[in-house]
Structure 1
Amino acid sequence: MKLKTLTVSQVNDYLANYIGTNPIFSNMSVGGEVFNLKKTGYGYTFLSLKDDESKLNAITYLEKFDVQEGDFITVSGKISFYKKSGTYSIIINSYEKKGQGNNYEQFKILYEKLEKLGYFKYELKKPIIKFPQKIGIITSAKGAAVKDIISVITRRYPKVSLIIYDSKMQGIDVENNVIQGINTLSDLSVDTIIISRGGGDTDDLSVFNSQLIAKAVFDCDIPIISAIGHEIDYVICDFVADMRAPTPSIAGELSVPNLQEVYDTIDNFEKSIKISYKNIINLYNSKIDSYRFLIQSNTPYKKINQKKLSLLELTSFIEQAYKDKIQSYKDRLFYISSILQENNYNNILSKGFALVEKDDVFIKTVKDLALGDKLTVRLEDGNISVVVEDIKNIIK
């Protein structure tokens, strides 16, 4: 059966409705240790309650809420679900202090002391070796933490050597065991040291609030990762260490790279380099082809051929122009010749016309004649002499 796809708002609506209608959430009592205490100037206070494994956000509007970090309190109230953020908190209506352990006070005093000594300065933190050859692990060889760390490291980076320093992580002699582990692994020149143990109650973890352990961690020349307890647990060792890991498994992840990711990165670099070189080679080949074409285009042989072609074209043009000019003159001469031919008086005489001359001057009109004038009449085949006996004008 195909599941119906819900929106985020629908899921949060269902949860809000479930919590709002379930009587167990409307009036409940919860006990836990106070941390993340934030008093506001608006009349309400934010805080969290925690136990060995979990935490619960809380808010109260009580005017008198006299608690401090580290107090163990029992609160009464209702669970409120915030649909917009998908989170929930307990709204505290009343509370009862169960006291504050001596461990918290000691923790606070030691924290402030070491902070003044510069044990927590970020600039003094040593970087974790990216590709370690040897990693030392201070933990109980029989605990679950070491198994988690070994599993993560061997899966991610099987090339590294692991040295396990079997140390007590609970009870008496923990302090001396951990310090001896740090010194021993330092003498073995490991690249990274992991101090780790699984979760536990406050008393079990309080040994890692030791000033002697803090000093050993601070003085160690090898970078140290601290992974004590669960994500919500904080000890002095975490603050002094070069890096804190919320869990042992994460400590394993932080101590080594993922070998497959390294191989993938190398492959990507190799592909990138090959592509870059190929592009560079193609670029230079293109430049070579361009230069070759430019050289070939500008060789003397090429230029001579171009000049020859230009000369042939010019010669052809001149010859054609010369022919056209001669033809033009021929056409003009023929035209003039035809006009001259048409106006040749010999041709006119052959058509039956005659030329009349008087004293070697051609007569064009009778007005130039008088009775008795002697004229010469030129015909096609000879001349005759005549005398004017009569003159008649032709009226047009």
Structure 2
Amino acid sequence: MSESELNQRQVFSPSSLNALLKGMFEQTMPMLWIEGEISNLRATSSPHWYFSVKDATAELRCVMFRHRNQLLRFKPVNGDQVLIRGKVTLYEARGDLQLLIEHMEPQGIGALMRKLEVMKQKLALEGLFDASRKRPLPRFPKRLAVITSAQGAAWHDVRTVLARRYPLLEVDLLPSLVQGAEAPASVLRALRYANAGDYDLVLITRGGGSIEDLFAFNDEGLVRAIAASRLPVLAAIGHEIDLTLAELAADLRAATPSAAAELLAPDCQDLTQRLDELAQRMSESLQRQVRQQHLQLQVALTALRAQHPERLLHQWQQRLQALTEAMQASMAAAQSARGRNVDRLGQRLQAASPEPRVQRYSATLQRLHDSLQTQMEGVVGANQHRLGMLGAKLHALSPLATLDRGYALTWQGAAIVTDPTTLQPGDALRVQWARGDAQVAVQSVDIKSS
């Protein structure tokens, strides 16, 4: 081989070839979706995941770094069928082909999400999610229908927040299933009931869960019913990162059940502060009007005094007095009305307080306790008296009481002798007294004629 041919050779080292191949893979290969079974996933001290994805005839090494695997809502194990998205690369140190994972989901979830995306696009084209059809929530609702599970934490959170912020609101629970195959029909029935009732708005809510748990709120029939609801609908499904089609169709979405309760009702403390501010502004406005009128009257009075017309001066003075009295009366009436409004709101807030009911229940409990104790003492006393009488009767009937009076019992073996005709001379007997007994023998038997 000639020297020129040798000079034309392009010779690679293992590291340079691996670097070249890595660049080719990463620059030319797009992001890929791959289905397969997880294997060789081992627990290590590293926060990164190293494993393989395989099918019946081949496998591919994979790595998923910490900043990506922390975003997953499930933890894979060996044997899981998954759908992964990643980029083909080369680990230069060993020349191993591997897949750099960006996203992973259970294989069934992927199909589910694709189906959901198709439905989402379909409903969006029909305008069900348009902002133009969203209605504002009532500013001061009187009656609220809450559609959720009676056993869930969402119902507890909503009640707690509303009781603190706006106890004047009447809240009704319309219990329904919130997950599973029967959940869409259950929620739909509750929504129809609410639309037929005397409610101001509807809250549909539940706590967080997996994609499967929340999928009931992607049901097409339920989404259409929410969009067609007569009443404004506020939806709070799962956590902030969860977004269902029901929330897109609702008039307003909240990140959590507690946040929904904050949105749908005003804060009584804010309302009280607002009333105080309005009352202060009204008072200041009335005072400004009085001062302006008084100034105008003073100017007119000065002009009249300059002309010395006593009659006109007297009339202006009377008019000034009348206007002043009218303004004072108006201010007093306005302040009185404001005071009555504040007192009425205070009474309504006081009526909503649970303290009187707690006191009534405590008093009732004390009365029941005292009554029970009295009855128990009477029953115990009566039983003790009856026991004493029965004891006395039993003692009177006892054979031992008879022995105490000087009588004796005669035993032949284990039986008491009641008939002397059963005895024979020489029989061994035992005579029992109250304070002891004696062994005797029969010498003779005398039978008395009756």
Is the Cα contact below 8 Å between 2:203 and 2:235 reproduced in 1?
yes
Q: Supply the distance in 2 between the matched residues of 1:215 and 1:297 (Cα, whole angstroms).
A: 80
The alpha-carbon deviation at position 280 of structure 1 amounts to 1.0
Distance 1:48 1:121 in 2: 35
Q: Does 1:225 align with 2:231?
A: no
Letter in 2 for 1:181: A
Deviation of 1:110 after TM superposition, in Å, equals: 0.8
Match of 1:281 in 2: 290
What is aligned with 1:243? 252
Question: How far has the Cα of 1:221 moved from its partner?
Answer: 0.8
Displacement after TM superposition at 1:299 (Å): 2.4
Who is 1:39 aligned against? none
Report if the CA contact (8 A) 1:205-1:228 is conserved.
yes
Q: For residues 189-212 of structure 1, give each alpha carbon's deviation from its aligned partner in whole angstroms, at most 9, with x where no partner exists.
A: 211100000000111111111101
1:258 pairs with 2:267: yes
Provide the C-alpha distance between the structure 2 equivalents of 1:282 and 1:96, rounded to a whole number of angstroms: 73
Letter in 2 for 1:95: I
- The residue number in structure 2 matching 1:126 is 135
> Is 1:135–2:141 an aligned residue pair?
no
Whether 1:204 and 2:224 are equivalent positions in the alignment is: no
The separation in 2 between residues aligned to 1:71 and 1:151, in whole angstroms, is 42
- 1:95 equivalenced with 2:107 (yes/no): no
Query: Partner of 1:146: helix, strand, or coil?
Result: helix
Moved more, 164-173 or 193-202: 164-173
Q: Does 1:163 align with 2:172?
A: yes
Cα 1:234–1:97 change in 2 (3 A) is closer
Task: For structure 1, list consecutive stretches of 5 or more residues without a partner in the other structure.
Answer: 1-23, 32-45, 54-69, 76-92, 302-396
What TM-score results when the alignment is normalised by the length of structure 1? 0.54
Counterpart among 44, 48, 60 of residue 28 in structure 1: 48
Residues of 1 paired with 2:192 and 2:85: CA distance?
Answer: 41
| Cα deviation, residue 98, structure 1 | 3.9
Q: Tell me the alpha carbon deviations over residues 136-191 of structure 1, each in whole angstroms, 9 at most, x when there is no partner.
A: 00000110000000111111110111110111111231010000010011111211
1:174 aligns with 2:174: no
Q: Distance in 2 between matches of 1:30 and 1:123?
A: 49
Equivalent residue for 1:299?
Answer: 308
Q: Contact (CA 8 Å) 2:179, 2:215: kept in 1 or not?
A: no
Aligned to 2:318: none
Q: CA deviation at 1:263?
A: 1.6
Query: Quick one: which amino acid aligns to residue 265 of structure 1?
Result: R
Shift of 1:104: 1.1
Contact (CA 8 Å) 2:72, 2:104: kept in 1 or not? no
2:161 is aligned, of 146, 152, 162, to 152
Distance 1:298 1:143 in 2: 84
Change (3 A) 1:182 1:293: same
Give runs of aligned pairs for residues 358-369 of structure 1, distance below 5 A. none
Q: 1:300 to 1:281 in 2, by over 3 A?
A: closer
- Going by fraction, where is strand more abundant, 1 or 2? 1
Counterpart CA distance in 2 for 1:261 and 1:178 is 34
**Which residue of 2 is the match for residue 192 of structure 1?**
201
Between the aligned partners of 2:275 and 2:201, the Cα distance in structure 1 is 24
Alignment check: 8 A CA contact 1:136 1:163 kept: yes
- Letter aligned with residue 101 of structure 2: Y
Which residue in 2 is equivalent to 1:345? none
Paired residues for 1:365-376 under 5 Å: none
- Distance apart, 1:74 and its partner CA: 8.5
Counterpart Cα distance in 1 of 2:283 and 2:160: 36
CA distance in 1, matches of 2:291, 2:199: 48
Per-residue deviation, residues 314-341 of structure 1 (Å, max 9, x unmatched): xxxxxxxxxxxxxxxxxxxxxxxxxxxx
Higher relative contact order (CA 8 A, sep 6+): 1
Per residue, is there more helix in 1 or in 2? 2
Corresponding pairs, count: 231
Structure 2 spans left out of the alignment, 5+ residues: 1-43, 52-66, 75-81, 88-98, 311-450
Query: Structure 1 residues 72 and 285 mapped into 2: Cα distance closer, same or farther (>3 Å)?
Result: farther
Instruction: Please report the RMSD computed on the Cα atoms of aligned residues, expressed in angstroms.
Output: 3.0
